[in-house]
Structure formats: C-alpha cells, structure tokens
Amino acid sequence: MAKTSYLCWSLLTFLLAFSTQSAEMPLNMTQGVTEISQQVYHLHMKIFYICCAIGVAVFGVMFWSIIHHRKSKGVEPAQFHESTKVELLWTALPVVILILMAIPATQTLIAMEDTSEADVTVLITGSQWKWHYKYMDHKVEYYSLLATPRKQIDNKLKKGDNYLLEVDRPLVIPTGKKVRFLVTSDDVIHSWWVPAFAVKKDANPGFINEAWTKVDHPGVYRGQCAELCGKDHGFMPIVVIAKDQADFDQWIAQEAATQAAAKAEEQKLLSMNMSKEELMALGEKTYMGYCAACHQPTGMGIPGVFPALKGSKMALEDLPGHIDIVLNGKTGTAMQAFAKQLSLSEIAAVITYERNAWDNNTGDLVQAADIAKAQKP
Amino acid sequence: MSTVTTDPHAHAEHEHHHGPAKGLKRWLYTTNHKDIGTLYLLFALTMFFIGGAMAMVIRAELFQPGLQIVQPDFFNQMTTVHGLIMVFGAVMPAFTGLANWLVPMMIGAPDMALPRMNNWSFWILPFAFSILLLSLFMEGGGPGFGWTFYAPLSTTYSSDSTALFVFSVHIMGISSIMGAINVIVTIMNLRAPGMTYMKMPLFVWTWFITAYLLIAVMPVLAGAVTMVLTDKYFGTSFFDAAGGGDPVLFQHIFWFFGHPEVYIMILPAFGIVSSIVPTFARKPLFGYASMVYATSSIALLSFLVWAHHMFTTGMPVFAELFFMYCTMLIAVPTGVKVFNWVATMWRGAMTFEVPMMFALAFIVLFTIGGFSGLMLAITPADFQYHDTYFVVAHFHYVLVTGAIFSIMAAAYYWLPKWTGHMYDETLGQWHFWCSLISVNVLFFPMHFVGLAGMPRRIPDYALQFADFNALISIGGFAFGLSQLLFVWLVVKCIKGGEKATAQVWEGAEGLEWTIPSPAPYHSFTTPPEIK
C-alpha cells in the first residue's frame, strides 16, 4: 500500500539523516556561552529527566497491565474502583515534585531579570524586517540587515554555510561585561533572540523591555526574530560578535569616527550634484536593500498589500509627495520613515531611481540638497 | 374513493412525529439532535481535510530550505487559516457534534432542550467558514497574522481581509455560545429521574464544564476581535501606544480567552477516554468522583494561567512567578486523570478494538504533550522554547494525538450505535497504525528542531534544520493520506456491514447502550429508570 511505502521512506530518511549530517544539528538545547544560559540548560535537563522518570513509571505500569491483564489470557476483571488513600497519594506526590522543580526555576528567573549595574547599554529597535542597534554611551548606531543574497533564497545560487543567519553589520559587544539590552520596535512586535545567551525579549512598539547578558568568550553568536512580524519574519536574523574589551574599545572608537566623518561628508555633499549614473547606481542598491522587500524588485508591489511604484501617480507626477513619504513614512501603514535610516544622498538616489526605473522615465534627478531642503522647511 | 380507509392526513402526522423529512429539507430544517450531531460531525470532517490540505502546503514548502512552492505572504496565510480552521472548524464542531448525539442519549432525554437554537447554531457555521476561506482570494490575500492575530500586525499592518476575519470569528463565537447554552440547559433540565449529577457519565460531566468555559471566554474573544476591528477601521487605539493603548494588552485579552479555549478542546476528550477505557477493560472507571473534581480544578485553574503564553513580553518578575506556579499546578489534576485511567486498566480484562487503541494512544501521547507542557511552564526554560518548533510539537501532541485521537476513538466507539452497523475492524486497525506511526514521524522530530533553535511560522530555515524538516514533511504527508482510510471506513460503515446489537461492546455501560442500534430517531420519549 501507498502508506507502507511512505513509512519505509520516512524510516530510510531518518536513518540517512543520522548517518550523513547528524553532526550539523544539535539534538538538544544549546548550553550557550553565559552563566545564565548554562543554568537554563541544566534546569531544562532536570525537568526533562523528571518527566522521563514519571513517564517510565506510568507507562511501565500501563504496558505491564496491557500485556498481562488482557481478556485473551483468560483473566477475570477485578471490580475495585476507588480508593481515597491512593487518590490523596498521587495528588500529594506530584505537588512535592513540582515544588522541587519550582525552587531552582525561581532562582534562575530572578537572576535573569536583574538588569541593574550594567557596563554597556545597547538600544535594540526592531522594524519590518531589520534590527537597529544604538550604543547609548557612544555616538554609534546602525541598521543590521539580512546578508543572504536573494538568489540563494530563490534556489538560483548554492546556499552558503550561514544561510539566513548572516547580516551585513553584526552587533558587537565586549566580553566579561554586563551588557544591558533595551528592546523596542518601530512597527509590529518582534522578538530578539540569541539562543547562546538564553535571551529572548519581545520588541513592543511604544514600550521598552530590558534584558542582559555577560559573555565570557569572544565569538560569533547567531539568532533570529522569534515573533511573527509579517511577510519577512523568517528573514531578519541576528548576529552578535563578542570581542575582548581592548578590541571592542578599538572597534567602537573607529566606528564612532567613521560615522562622524560620514555625517560631515554628507554636509559637504549638499553643495555637490551627483550624475544620473551615480544616482541610479546608488539608488538601485538602496532600493534593493530597503524597499524591494515590500515594493518588490520589479516595482510592482503586492496588490492589496504593498502599492506598486511602477506607473504610480506619486512616482510619475507628485515629486514633493514622493520625497515626503520616503522621509516621513505614512502613519497607519507599513510605510516607514526613512529619514533616520538612510543618508540624504541615499534618499535622493532612491527617489531618483524610483522615478526612472521600470519605464517610469520621468527624467527627474533628485539631489541630496533637495532632500535637505524638504527636511527643514 | 370514500371507501379508502387510510387517512392521508393522519399518516403525514405520523411521519412528522416519528421519522425524518426527506431530502435536503430534512437537514436544513432539522431540530433533531441526532441529525444536527451528524451535520456537525460531517462539517468537522470536511474542515479537517481543508485545514489538513493547508498543512500539506506548509509541509511541502518546508520540505527543503529555500522558497519553492509558495511566497512568504501566502505561507503566513496558510499557517493562520490552518490554525483557525482546525481549532474552530474541526475540533470544536466535532466535540459539539458528539455532545449533540450523545448527551441526550446518555442522560435519558428525548432531545436537546433547545432544538431550534440547535439548528441555528449549526447552520451559521458554514457561512462563517465560507467567509474566512473566501477571504483568501481577496486582493492582498487572507489573514496572515497567525491564528493568535497579535496587534498591531493584525490592525495597522494587516490587509483588508481582516474585516471578514473579524466577522467570521464573531459568527463562530455565537455558534459556540449557543451550543454551550444548549448543553447546559439540557443537562440541568432533562436528566432522567434518579440521574443525579454524580451519576452522570463522565462525557456528560466534562461537556457540562466545557460549556461553562465556552460561555465564559467566547465573549472575551468577541471583544478582542471587535477591538482589532475598531483599531483598524475606526481610529481607536486599544493596542496602539501612540494613542495611549498597549499592544501587550491584546495578548492578555487574547490569552484570557485562549487558555481556557485549550481546555475546551481537551476536557471532552477526557470524557471520551473515561468512557472507552472502562468498556474495554471490563472494569468500572477508577476514581469517578476524583475525575469530576480533577476536571473542575483544571477548568478553574485555566483562568489563572493565561500569561504563560507571554513570558517574553516583559512582565514583572512577580507576575512571571505567579503564572509559572499556577501553570505547574495544572499538572496535578491532569496527572490524577492519567493515574486513574491506568488504575482502571490495572487487573482488568482488556481487549484492543480500534476505539481502545486510539484511547490508549491518547493516554500515552497526550501525556507526552503534558510533559512538554510542564517544561514550557518553567519560565527561564520557556525563554528558550518560546515561539520555536518545540511549542509546535507540544500543542500538536495535545491537539492532534490528544483531541483528534479522542474524536477518532469516539467515532469508532459510537459508529455502530449511530449507523447500526459494525465498522470494518481490519480497516480500522490499518487506519490506527498508519496514523500512530506517521503522526509521530510528523511531530516527534519537531521537539529536536525546536530545541536546536528553529523559530515557528517561518517559510524558510537555516541549512542545519533541512534533514529533520524533510522527515517531518514525509510524516505529514503520510498522516494526511492515512486519514483517507477513515473516510473510506465511515462510508463503508454507513452503507452496510455486520448488524450491531444494542449493547455493541461487551463491557459497555450507560443508557445509550440500552436502546437499539441504530438509535431510533427519537430516543427516550418516556424517561428510563435510573437505579
């Protein structure tokens, strides 16, 4: 029968899974790299073993009964049907076991929720579908986006080792320091989860949650968004790099300098005009990174959800409206405000791109200075 | 002419009182509890296959990493509608169908107490689900925010099918509330003389308690969807911080409905298993009274544990501890039930017909679901399990191998009483074993995938999860195909088969086994005597 062949298939695959690639996926919760994650792991194993013991006892009695107390063996059924003593016993015993479980769970939980006396604080903001990191004690902030190429997702390119778990700019934290995370969101609820730290905290729009970690060893740790946040929920990974204090200090100083320089450069650019080729090249890059997830690489959008840009009235005619919506977003919709996400020249370039790509040939060129003007009325 | 002795008018009267009308009208206008029970059960079976087809789409997409068959937007719609259909369209109507068929027969009543409302509560359901299913074809697609429809994903960021989703959930809720009122009124008023509360069969008891849960929480769900509707279309800000609301408030309201809802889907299952195990062990149920008390305790505790679904939303430590302790406490009455079933089997004289096989599988696999539930209750560990496939494994163990296996067990157990024919035992055993093996290939590996870190509700995943997902998908396809055996068996049993006796099962006890098989259109027009 079809079913039997299916079963054979599944068994075969199961065996194959273990023979070829079993080393790849751990079969248990990670022990992680922090004291807390170790505690969580041991708590998990403790409860697991208790459940196994109860299971063996209960199923043992049940299967002993199934094997021996069957009609085909000619047994006469007993007729007993109640015993208050037994009922009390198997009510009280589980309570004792549960108390034994609750004590270590309570201790771990209280330690996990103590976010006081942090050395470094990072504000984590989720938005559809990327993370933003801002170091509260330094002038450093940036977005972190999925780095896996679209072609790998569409099966046109071989998938890399860290498929869907790689980002363009990871979060960097120092080792041996208590790092506090403030977690929030710009749109829907996301959840910031790094299994190796045993940190999973929801990012709620309009509210700030706290969590913390202290990583002892340098390394690269990967996680994902854990709360359904719309279309690309499966495509907003998290990568954290833990560095020694010295390396971290060097990195953050350099990063602060680079960001300051970029801002200065931006001001200078205001007086310069970019060529159409430059604008279109930068615009396409920006569009694919920030806009294509909703409006699609073809500019066609998704009917009923995300409007098309190709041939749209706004992209063809209404230039001030176009600049305004990219800068400030549109409240009540998924359209985000990009003023703080992109540089002036990127915004100028992406608007130029949208007005000239996909047969939108308006010929409009938008420069960084135009954006700056629109920003400060 | 005038010599014809039969009076056609009197004959019609006779028909009207003692037999069903013919054709489509019988089903549209029926107020008979058995007809309505049949309608509910067939509706649930249809929905089981529609929701199952969506699960097949999900498993096909997840068979390999990368996007092959559907786009993420549609994938989200599939997970959402699969959940809604299975919860509100398959499991709940199946239990209501069983209650309709069995409660009057078990308490010695002629029918349900409110037959016209009974008709109405069924016939609005097809409309609710047509609205929900048709919304998938709207521009922008159907609901894609998960069956839990967390705001603001379901408000500001959802497509316009949300309005239809809200309307359809309202209708489902009204249907459930009417069904629940009917069960309560019937049980309170139509018990045969001498049938005191503590003599009622456990299926009646568990449904009695379930009906109260339904009346308590379905209005809460109605409130939640209405607030979603007004937030989206009428400018309110219940769940929007910018207007003074709070998105987490939505989750509190939803899970205040959602957790009792979980028990709505499992308490009747306890009743079914408590009926089947004594029959095939040929020994009275152990601890009848403690079963009643345990069920009531579970129902009461279910109102105190809702926030264990929300440990990661950022609650004060005190609240986390409270909900952790309360949730762990539920293990106590649930454990009592399992111990009682095992004690019922102990020193019985067991046989293993299909209903008993499903009931035994229920006890083992539901208990496994209970164990993972206990693990999930431990807040620090929940931070790692939450929103991963470990959770998916957990609730499919309690809902598929729990609720649905119990419904299968019930169908096999009472089919001879409903149709008057014995079902095909060999075919039934094939159905059981295929289901048992495939369901475990389907759901057991999900525990490992979840522990290894795969989030739920994602259309694509990292490469390390590839082998296990392929295996899970194969289990899923096999489980789906196995259910076709059940349809074949039911059709065969309705068409014919060995004639069933009134008693049907050697060890069966209860009023429904004292009337002939198939059960006459009107049973117990005069109340039976209860010793």
Top residue of A227, A229, A232, A294 to mutate, by most chain B CBs within 10 Å, is A227
Structure tokens at B226: 């209405």
How much is the pLDDT for A327? Answer: 87
Contact in structure between B462 and B65 (CB atoms under 8 Å)? yes
pLDDT digit string, tens, across residues B336-376 = 999 999 999 999 999 999 999 999 999 999 999 999 999 99
**Residue A9 pLDDT > 70:** no
First to last CA, chain A: 75
Min CA distance, B327 vs chain A (Å)? 11
Contact in structure between B71 and B57 (CB atoms under 8 Å)? no
**Confidence class for position A376, pLDDT limits 50, 70, 90:** low
> 3-state class of A285 per DSSP?
helix
Beta bridge partners of B421: B499
User: How far apart are the C-alpha atoms of B189 and B276, rounded to whole Å?
Assistant: 26
Q: Is the peptide bond before B528 cis (omega within 30 degrees of 0)?
A: no
Structure tokens at A66: 């199934």
Among residues B33, B309, B394, B417, which one is catalytic? B309
Q: Is the peptide bond before A129 cis (omega within 30 degrees of 0)?
A: yes
User: How far apart are the C-alpha atoms of A355 and A312, rounded to whole Å?
Assistant: 10
Q: Tell me whether residues B347 and A303 touch, CB distance under 8 A.
A: no
User: Is B473 assigned a catalytic role?
Assistant: no
pLDDT digit string, tens, across residues B470-519 = 999 999 999 999 999 999 999 999 999 899 999 999 999 999 999 999 99
Which of A29, A102, A193 comes nearest B328 by C-beta?
A: A102
Residues of B in contact with A202 (CB under 8 A): 248, 312-314
How much is the pLDDT for A367? Answer: 86
User: Is B34 assigned a catalytic role?
Assistant: no
User: Is B212 assigned a catalytic role?
Assistant: no
Q: Tell me whether residues B157 and A163 touch, CB distance under 8 A.
A: no
Which of A25, A79, A231 comes nearest B284 by C-beta?
A: A79
Mean predicted confidence (pLDDT) in A227-248: 95
User: Is B320 assigned a catalytic role?
Assistant: no
User: Is B290 assigned a catalytic role?
Assistant: no
Top residue of B58, B75, B157 to mutate, by most chain A CBs within 10 Å, is B157
User: How far apart are the C-alpha atoms of B369 and B350, rounded to whole Å?
Assistant: 25
Strand A120-127, strand A130-135: pairing: antiparallel
pTM of the predicted protein model: 0.89
User: How far apart are the C-alpha atoms of A177 and A199, rounded to whole Å?
Assistant: 16
Contact in structure between A351 and A326 (CB atoms under 8 Å)? yes
Dihedral sign computed on CA atoms, order B351, B357, B362, B363 = positive
Which of A17, A209, A227 comes nearest B471 by C-beta?
A: A17
How much is the pLDDT for B416? Answer: 96
Q: Hey, what amino acid is at B274?
A: S
User: How far apart are the C-alpha atoms of B109 and B211, rounded to whole Å?
Assistant: 18
Residues of B in contact with A54 (CB under 8 A): 371
Residues of A in contact with B145 (CB under 8 A): 228, 230
Strand A199-203, strand A209-213: pairing: unpaired
Q: Tell me whether residues B375 and A332 touch, CB distance under 8 A.
A: no
Residues of A in contact with B285 (CB under 8 A): 81
For B340, the closest chain A residue by CA position comes to: A87
Q: Hey, what amino acid is at A373?
A: K
For A115, the closest chain B residue by CA position comes to: B317
Q: Which helix (H) or strand (E) holds B131?
A: helix B125-134
- Note down pLDDT in tens along chain B; length 531 residues: 344 444 444 444 444 455 677 888 889 999 999 999 999 999 999 999 999 999 999 999 999 999 999 999 999 999 999 999 999 999 999 999 999 999 999 999 999 999 999 999 999 999 999 999 999 999 889 999 999 999 999 999 999 999 999 999 999 999 999 999 999 999 999 999 999 999 999 999 999 999 999 999 999 999 999 999 999 999 999 999 989 999 999 999 999 999 999 999 999 999 999 999 999 999 999 999 999 999 999 999 999 999 999 999 999 999 999 999 999 999 999 999 999 999 999 999 999 999 999 999 999 999 999 999 999 999 999 999 999 999 999 999 999 999 999 999 999 999 999 999 999 999 999 999 999 999 999 999 999 999 999 999 999 999 999 999 999 999 999 999 999 999 999 999 999 989 999 999 999 999 999 999 999 998 898 889 887
Among residues B170, B337, B396, B417, which one is catalytic? B337
User: Is B295 assigned a catalytic role?
Assistant: no
User: Is B111 assigned a catalytic role?
Assistant: yes
For residues A314, A315, A321, A327, the Cα torsion angle rounded to the nearest 10 degrees is 130
CA distances from B22 to A69, A228, B25, B29, B177 (A): 49, 50, 7, 11, 30
**Confidence class for position A279, pLDDT limits 50, 70, 90:** confident
Min CA distance, A224 vs chain B (Å)? 8
Which of B352, B363, B478 comes nearest A6 by C-beta?
A: B478
CA nearest to B391, candidates B456, B461, B467: B456
pLDDT digit string, tens, across residues A161-183 = 999 999 999 999 999 999 999 99
User: Is B154 assigned a catalytic role?
Assistant: no
pLDDT digit string, tens, across residues A57-87 = 999 999 999 999 999 998 888 988 889 999 9
Min CA distance, B522 vs chain A (Å)? 34
Angle at the Cα of B511 (from B505 to B515), degrees rounded to 5? 75
Q: Tell me whether residues B380 and A70 touch, CB distance under 8 A.
A: no
